[in-house]
Amino acid sequence: MITRTAPVLDPRDGLLKELITPFKLGVGGPIAGGSQYLPWIHIDDEVGILLWALDNEAVSGTLNAASPNPVTNREFAKTLGRVLGRPALVPVPGFAVSMMRGRELAETVKAGQRVLPRRALDLGFTFQHPELEPALRDLL
């Protein structure tokens, strides 16, 4: 089995940890225009899908570990701002991501991907946190 994992939402690590401080300071916002899709998955669903796949004999091949409800980068920023009670108005230019995280990650962020967990859903996996706002509220 191969698992392709979306950015895992966890306030202690990864994407969410990096975004919390700028958003709390009121300087968070969409990255590189914001119209590109940003797949995501709650940490509980990430662990859940991996354990489910290991225990399920019907699972083989490739699974996408991502929420069944991807959002645009702009929607992600607005939702995170709303959950934190902060504005999400300051756009982050793509070149800033390149400077902070390298060109390869910046290109991935700017291009975006609309990833769906079709096989996992077809095989019966049930997400605990399929919607972004309740997932962020659970984590924060």
pLDDT in tens, 28-59: 899 878 899 999 999 999 999 999 999 999 99
pLDDT of res. 36: 92
Write the CATH number for 135.
3.40.50.720
3-state secondary structure of 26: coil
At residue 113 the predicted structure's pLDDT band, cuts being 50, 70 and 90, is confident
pLDDT value at position 19?
86
Give, in order, the Cα–Cα distances in Å from 128 to each of 42, 49, 68.
8, 10, 11
Mean pLDDT of 103-116: 69
Predicted confidence at residue 91, as pLDDT, reads 81
In this prediction, residue 31 carries a pLDDT of: 80
Query: Looking at the predicted structure, is the pLDDT value of residue 70 above 60?
Result: yes
Q: Let me know: does 41 contact 10? Beta carbons within 8 Å.
A: no
Cα separation values, 125 from 50, 56, 58, 68, 113, Å: 10, 10, 12, 11, 22
Query: What is the pTM (predicted TM-score) of this model?
Result: 0.89
Answer with the residue of higher pLDDT: 21 or 117. Answer: 117
For every residue of 89-128, DSSP letters joined together read ---B-HHHHHHHH-HHHHHHHHH------HHHHHTT---S
Q: Of 14-23, 60-69, 85-94, give the range with the top mean pLDDT.
A: 60-69
The domain of 117 spans: 2-139
Whether 94 has a pLDDT exceeding 90, the answer reads no
> What gap in Å lies between CA 129 and CA 67, rounded to an integer?
8
What single DSSP character describes residue 85? T
Number of independent structural domains in the chain: 1
